[in-house]
Amino acid sequence: MLKGKHIILGITGGIAAYKCATLTRLLVKAGAEVQVIMTPNAKQFIQPLTLSTLSGKPVISEFFTANTGQWNSHVDLGLWADALVIAPATASTIGKMANGVADNMLVTTYLSAKAPVFVAPSMDLDMMRHPSTLRNLELLRSYGNHIIEPTAGELASHLIGKGRMEEPENIVKVLDNFFKVNEDLKDKRVLITAGPTVEKIDPVRYISNFSSGKMGFALAEECASRGAQVTLVAGPVSLKTENAGIRRIDVTTALEMHEAVMNELPDSDAVILCAAVADYRVEHIADKKIKREKTENPVIQLTPNPDIARSVGQSKRPGQVTVGFALETDNENVNAQGKLERKNLNFIVMNSMRDKNAGFQVDTNKVTIFTDKGETIEGECKSKRDVAHDIIDVLHKYLDQQ
């Protein structure tokens, strides 16, 4: 499971740093690419040369490489990483991470990293049980970091207690398990639509809606981080995709989105229709700007756009799972369930305009899922990424049954 994974191994100044030679060796043996970052104090405990030899990459420690003057970008490193492992993590580094004290390359990279973070503390027993350390570890947990608990035994000080860094073999196991659990969509091909569509009226005006694309992009990131091959058909949005596993097709109009989706459909195991597609387009787009003086009460003739979800529902092959969205202002449940049937979906995710902090533009959402098996799953108000996680859990169950 670690094959091809990009791991940043952050080493800080504790005696357990000597175990990082073995840890690096084991990670490389498991197929990972390892980039070591050392704090200045870590170099007192183990030679960078040992680690650069084992990892096959120069060790990074400073913001600049002294002999070349090359700038080491913590942002690029943070984006490159699939996981950041800080082992051993001293009380000092844990405190800096907890409080955003970015005075070295490692903590700066930590603050930039989007990847999951694993922290393997190592220190003397009294430092380990000091309220400050315990509080800082609690803060790291609250940031979503994974703490690899130290074990009890004889410490470098000859005292006996909790504070020994977990053995390298076990740290590798923790990482391996993490990626195993999180790759539950491995090799699945998921097609997602996101954002609004834009329908031109004339060269300067258009009809559209308030969709920001945030929910669809969160779904794409969630699927990609769980190992899926994602194709994201996006209407005009100002969002970026972060995971390299996402293939993005940018479109503008509903017709373009329809065409892109129908082209990709045969190769997809699952299709999530999250886009807010304009139901109508302008029948005759003016080739010049419509002048106010010329038309007092202008009438724009509209014509229906294809319902992409319906086309997908009609041509879906056995085993393909399709998911729709319904944004409703009233009669929510009945409307959403009607769409579930009409569009031949496996499940539909409904959000109501009546719920605060849900729907267009905002970073949170509150959804109810209706399935074709008659289940209703009510969600809490959560970040769109957490809502995406819950939706993809339901999708995963469907894909598993195919």
Q: Which residues bind ligand C5P (CB under 6 A)?
A: 193, 254, 273-275, 277, 279, 305, 307-309, 324-326, 339
- Is residue 388 classed as helix, strand or coil in its secondary structure? helix
CB nearer to ligand C5P: give 127 or 239: 239
| Nearest to 35, CA basis, from 6, 73, 2 | 6
CB nearer to ligand C5P: give 89 or 232: 232
Q: Smallest distance from the beta carbon of 238 to ligand C5P, in angstroms?
A: 20
Check: CB of residue 64 under 8 Å from CB of residue 96: no
| Nearest to 35, CA basis, from 67, 7, 75 | 7
Q: How many residues are given for the chain? A: 402
| Nearest to 287, CA basis, from 196, 198, 205 | 205
Q: Smallest distance from the beta carbon of 309 to ligand C5P, in angstroms?
A: 4
Q: Smallest distance from the beta carbon of 259 to ligand C5P, in angstroms?
A: 13
Burial category of 71 from C-beta neighbours within 10 Å (exposed 0-12, middle 13-18, buried 19 and up): exposed
Which residues pair with residue 351 across a beta bridge?
A: 327
Check: CB of residue 121 under 8 Å from CB of residue 85: no
CB nearer to ligand C5P: give 150 or 324: 324
Q: Smallest distance from the beta carbon of 326 to ligand C5P, in angstroms?
A: 5
CB nearer to ligand C5P: give 179 or 370: 370
Tally Cβ neighbours within 10 Å of residue 100.
10
CB nearer to ligand C5P: give 322 or 364: 322
- Is residue 131 classed as helix, strand or coil in its secondary structure? helix
* Angle at alpha carbon of residue 63, lines to 61 and 67, rounded to 5°: 80
Catalytic residues: 209
Identity of the residue numbered 285:
I
C-alpha to C-alpha distance for 98 and 40, rounded to whole angstroms: 19
Q: Smallest distance from the beta carbon of 300 to ligand C5P, in angstroms?
A: 18
C-alpha to C-alpha distance for 5 and 277, rounded to whole angstroms: 37
Q: Smallest distance from the beta carbon of 346 to ligand C5P, in angstroms?
A: 12
Q: Smallest distance from the beta carbon of 279 to ligand C5P, in angstroms?
A: 6
| Nearest to 274, CA basis, from 189, 211, 344 | 211
CB nearer to ligand C5P: give 120 or 261: 261
Tally Cβ neighbours within 10 Å of residue 390.
17
Which residues fall within 8 angstroms of residue 362, CB to CB, at 6 or more apart?
A: 214
Identity of the residue numbered 101:
V
CB nearer to ligand C5P: give 106 or 277: 277
**How crowded is the C-beta side of 70, counted as CA atoms within 13 Å?**
9
- Report CA-CA distances (Å) from 20 to 45, 62, 377: 10, 19, 46
| Nearest to 8, CA basis, from 112, 85, 102, 63 | 85
C-alpha to C-alpha distance for 390 and 117, rounded to whole angstroms: 21
Q: Smallest distance from the beta carbon of 378 to ligand C5P, in angstroms?
A: 19
CB nearer to ligand C5P: give 207 or 286: 207
